[in-house]
Structure formats: C-alpha cells, structure tokens
Chain A
C-alpha cells in the first residue's frame, strides 16, 4: 500500500508537471498572492504584521492549489477514463486518492515557499522565523492537514462529475472560515466554530505561531489530530460514495 501511495504521488506530480498551463499558474500565483498580502493589509511599516499577512496569503495559495489541484486531477481521471480502473484496483480507494491530495499538498508547500520568497524579493517582507525547528515541523503538518481535508473533499468529487467547479466553489468559504482572508474576530461567532474543524485554520496558526512567537506546538498537534480525523472520515466517505457511484453507474460519466 505504501508503494501504491508513493507511486501515485509520483505519477500525479509528473502528470501535473507536463501541463504547461498548470505549471504557469504555479509560477504566477505566488507573485499574485505575495502582492495581495502586501497591498491588502497595507502593513508596510509593521514588519511582523507584514510577515503574518504573507504567511496567511501563502496558506491561502496552498489551500487553493490543493482543492483545485485535487478536484482537477479527479475530474481528469473521469475524462481520461482512468477513474473506473482506479476504483477497480485491489488497493483501497483511499490509497489511490490520498496521493492525489497529498501531491497537491506538496505543490501547495512549494506555493508557501514561493509566496514568501517573492514577498521577500519584491516587497522586502522580513523572513525572521522565531522558532525555526517548529516552523520546519509546522510546514509539513500544514501540508498534511490541508491535503487530508482535500481527501474529504475528494470523496464528494467521486460522486459528482463537476469536481473542478465544486473545487473552485470550495476555495472562498474555507479562506473566510479559517481567517485567512479577514480576521475571524470581525466575523460572527459561528464562523469561528466552523474554522476549528478546518485544517487550514490549524495549519495557518501552526505556521504563524512558529514564525512569530508564542506557542506553536499545540497548533501543530491539532494539525496532526485533524489530519488523522480527516483520513478516517475521508476513507469512510470514499467507501460509501464509491458504493453509491457503483449503484448509480456514474463512475464512467464525464
């Protein structure tokens, strides 16, 4: 199963890297997101706030890359006619789908690094990390949390044909509910509750806390906890939704 997982990640990264359109987006988006961080908050005179805004923009990009990447990859499976073959493989379907999400997560990890690098290069965003070790752990924990949330979303993509549209639609609510776009304190209390169930919320907190001070480890722990929960929920959802798709006969539909 580990071999199938690693092989799946490799295949999806290679497949992704051979689409010039997707690749150009991955190079351009970090510049756009770094610019959003710089101009939206207008925090030129507060280096720590500027760094926080850059990190927020980087996590926003990461979520976009994961949700769009995995939904696009799954819709592609339908168009390529490989979805049925993946469902018919003897390994559990979660092991087939999870690499797509985690591979998108790694592309998202690159997105974080690129956004911060462009912010540093173009807008001179300071990159002073208070807890480098925690930051090094927080980054993969964030990738995992967001990738596994992608897995839960991916289960619905198996059921619905318009996976890509659904992926696009899911971008913005998660940005808002996790406080990446606007501070959660400005939103109604129930939105905060929603945010607590979302991986990007804990991923952003883990990265921000490890870069800017106080106590990052509880948030890193939460990243791992929600990832495990997502894996369980995603696996169960995939099992149920694949059965529903087999009953409906919708796996080959494009």
Chain B
C-alpha cells in the first residue's frame, strides 16, 4: 500500500444540504510479505476496517494505490477477489435461516470451488473450525463463537492465498476467542498470508509476526511485538484501583516529576489509574498523596506490556 487515503462524504439537511468530509485514512503505506501474519492495531474508528475493505475491493481509495499479490484492488477487482478471502467479525454476514452447510455450499459456488472438490473442502473446513456434526443446524441457532468459526470456514472455502481477518474475535467469550485464535494460529503455521485487525493486545502479541498501530487514519508505529514493547521497557507501570477520580486529580498526577503518562480504564466495577514512569523513580507515595480522599483498592507496580505500549502510542498520536 502506498500513501493510501480514504475520505467519506456525508450530507446533512434537506433543503440546504451541507457536505461533510470525514477522513478515515490519511495516507498509510506498508507491505506484508508472503506467509506473514501482519496485525493492524488501533482503537475504534482508527481506519482498520477501511484499510481491509480497500484491499478486499469493497471500497475505492480516495487517493494512493494498493497492490494485492500484484493486482490493483481498485482496477483489477476480479483478479484480487479470486485470490483473497475475508472474514468480518460480528454476527452478520451469514444466511441465518439456512444451515451452515447450505451457507458453505452457496459461497463455494460463488467462489468457484470446483464441483469435485467442493464436498471434501467443506468437510475439511467444518472439521478445522470444529463445526462437524452441527453443520445441518440453522445458523440462527448458533452461538456467536460458532458463527465466527463458520465465517472463517467461509473465508477459506476457495483456499485463498491471502486472508483478511477483521476483528475476528470481537464479542466472543474467552473460550470462543481462544478457539478462534488457535484456528488463526494454525493457518499462520500453514503459511497463509494473513492481515489481522484487532484491538486486543494479547491477541496481536500471540499471533502477529509484525504489527502496525493505527490511530486517526495514520500509522503511529510499526514493528514486531517485541520492538513495540521495547519502546516502553524503560518504564514501570503502577496500577491503582480507585473510585471516582476527577480529571483535575489526573492532571495533578501527570504534573508529578518522573511521570510519563497517566490513563484510566474501567475493569469490572473499578476504575484503574495507570501511571507510566521511568524505571527507578519511586512514585508510589507521591501518587497516593495526590489521591488522598479518593477510595482506593489494590496498588500494583509491574513491567510494561504491549498494551501499555499501544496505549502510549495511541494517546500521543
């Protein structure tokens, strides 16, 4: 991909129509090697799905160019479609009133799977995604995890050279997500070229050989998971469980000497304040002093993870 941009145009008003342009991609460039599992990491609205849709021929870029296996998805859509598979996360994208088998048979015909291979291919894919024995049940009776695995089977029907996976574990329970990750890991080990988008750090860490962090339609960092983690290895992370921390208090924490960044996240009932500081700076007492009057829970000091690197990258973007 070379300097790829995509702008969406919306109109508001009936009599006096006003046009609004929203930039989803602001010029991104990257390459993925054959057999590589490349991850696109970013928050909602960062441009991950837009990137995948351009590469799978569903969207035209506003400017810039892309090549998939040497073909331009904008101008040579047919060539690209024959060679790629894509799997979107979520409940949609299947015929609910039909069985999994009917869904797969239909898409096998649309994706030109040879008649002689169709049956065996469907059988082996059902086996691969763990739906063997349930294939004659209507999809509307499937759990979210089963639907997601059926999506993966559909995306693999024509044995694509490149597979695009757009948040394939979104909304799945931990067991379902782990099963899908195992399936993706298996495909990576088979040598498939995969572009995966996710906003789960552990997923990217576990699966991807290289990553790009995207925020606001631009890349803020690329590298292996280890390289991204290395960006924050000179730091310590202090996690403080707190209840009802105001923005003014967070600002005071940010102003403390040695503090690099402060963010908050919700975990179950508790709000957790995450403070990144330089290794060696002893900040716990100072932080707790600033939080006086706030109901506090556990306080943990730990080494930084890929998630910390990601939060740091996205916040400073």
| A residues apposed to B, CB below 8 Å | 3-4, 7-8, 11, 14-15, 18-19, 80-82, 84-91, 96, 243, 246-249, 251-252
What are 29 sample pairs from A and B whose C-beta atoms fall under 8 A apart?
A: A3-B109, A4-B112, A7-B105, A7-B109, A11-B95, A11-B98, A11-B102, A14-B102, A15-B95, A15-B97, A19-B97, A80-B95, A81-B92, A81-B93, A82-B95, A85-B107, A85-B154, A88-B58, A88-B81, A89-B110, A90-B78, A90-B110, A90-B112, A90-B158, A246-B57, A246-B59, A246-B60, A249-B8, A249-B59
* Inter-chain contacts of B57 with A (CB < 8 A): 87-88, 246
| Residue from B8, B93, B110 in contact with A4 in the complex, judged by beta carbons closer than 8 Å | B110
| Residue from B58, B82, B96, B98 in contact with A84 in the complex, judged by beta carbons closer than 8 Å | B58
For residue B305, CB closer than 8 A to chain A, the reply is no
Give min CB distance, A251 to chain B, whole Å.
6
Give min CB distance, B254 to chain A, whole Å.
38
Give min CB distance, B256 to chain A, whole Å.
45
Known contacts A11-B95, A80-B95; 4 additional CB pairs below 8 A are A3-B115, A7-B106, A81-B91, A85-B154
A248 pairs with B96, CB closer than 8 A: no
B106 pairs with A85, CB closer than 8 A: no
The 7 A-B pairs at the shortest CB distance, nearest first, are namely A81-B92, A7-B109, A89-B110, A18-B97, A81-B93, A90-B81, A90-B82
| Residue from B53, B94, B106 in contact with A8 in the complex, judged by beta carbons closer than 8 Å | B106
* Inter-chain contacts of B96 with A (CB < 8 A): 80
Of residues 65 through 91 on chain B, the ones whose CB sits less than 8 Å from some CB of chain A are: 78, 81-82, 86, 88, 90-91
* Inter-chain contacts of A89 with B (CB < 8 A): 81, 107, 110-111
For residue B19, CB closer than 8 A to chain A, the reply is no
* Inter-chain contacts of A90 with B (CB < 8 A): 78, 81-82, 110-112, 158
Q: How far is the CA of A60 from the CA of B9 in the complex (A)?
A: 40
* Inter-chain contacts of A88 with B (CB < 8 A): 56-58, 81, 86
* Inter-chain contacts of A251 with B (CB < 8 A): 58
Q: How far is the CA of A91 from the CA of B111 in the complex (A)?
A: 7
Q: How far is the CA of A23 from the CA of B77 in the complex (A)?
A: 38
Give min CB distance, A89 to chain B, whole Å.
4
- Chain B, interface residues (CB within 8 Å), range: 20 to 34
Give min CB distance, B135 to chain A, whole Å.
15
Q: How far is the CA of A251 from the CA of B54 in the complex (A)?
A: 13
A82 pairs with B93, CB closer than 8 A: yes
Give min CB distance, A86 to chain B, whole Å.
7
Give min CB distance, A227 to chain B, whole Å.
23
B94 pairs with A91, CB closer than 8 A: no
* Inter-chain contacts of A252 with B (CB < 8 A): 58
Q: How far is the CA of A86 from the CA of B56 in the complex (A)?
A: 12
| Residue from B59, B97, B112 in contact with A91 in the complex, judged by beta carbons closer than 8 Å | B112
Give min CB distance, B69 to chain A, whole Å.
14
- Residue ID in chain B nearest A18 by CB atoms: B97
Given A3-B115, A14-B98, A90-B112, residue A85 in contact with residue B78 (CB < 8 A): no
* Inter-chain contacts of A19 with B (CB < 8 A): 97
A81 pairs with B110, CB closer than 8 A: no
* Inter-chain contacts of B53 with A (CB < 8 A): 84, 249
A248 pairs with B9, CB closer than 8 A: yes
Given A3-B109, A89-B81, residue A80 in contact with residue B59 (CB < 8 A): no
Give min CB distance, A4 to chain B, whole Å.
5
A86 pairs with B110, CB closer than 8 A: yes
- Residue ID in chain A nearest B9 by CB atoms: A248
* Inter-chain contacts of A243 with B (CB < 8 A): 60
Give min CB distance, A197 to chain B, whole Å.
31
* Inter-chain contacts of B78 with A (CB < 8 A): 90
Q: How far is the CA of A113 from the CA of B110 in the complex (A)?
A: 32
Of residues 295 through 309 on chain B, the ones whose CB sits less than 8 Å from some CB of chain A are: none
Q: How far is the CA of A3 from the CA of B105 in the complex (A)?
A: 11
* Inter-chain contacts of B56 with A (CB < 8 A): 88
Residues 195-237 of chain B, each 1 if its beta carbon lies under 8 Å from chain A, else 0? 0000000000000000000000000000000000000000000
Of residues 94 through 128 on chain B, the ones whose CB sits less than 8 Å from some CB of chain A are: 94-98, 102, 105-107, 109-112, 115
Q: How far is the CA of A243 from the CA of B59 in the complex (A)?
A: 9
Give min CB distance, B20 to chain A, whole Å.
14
Give min CB distance, A85 to chain B, whole Å.
6
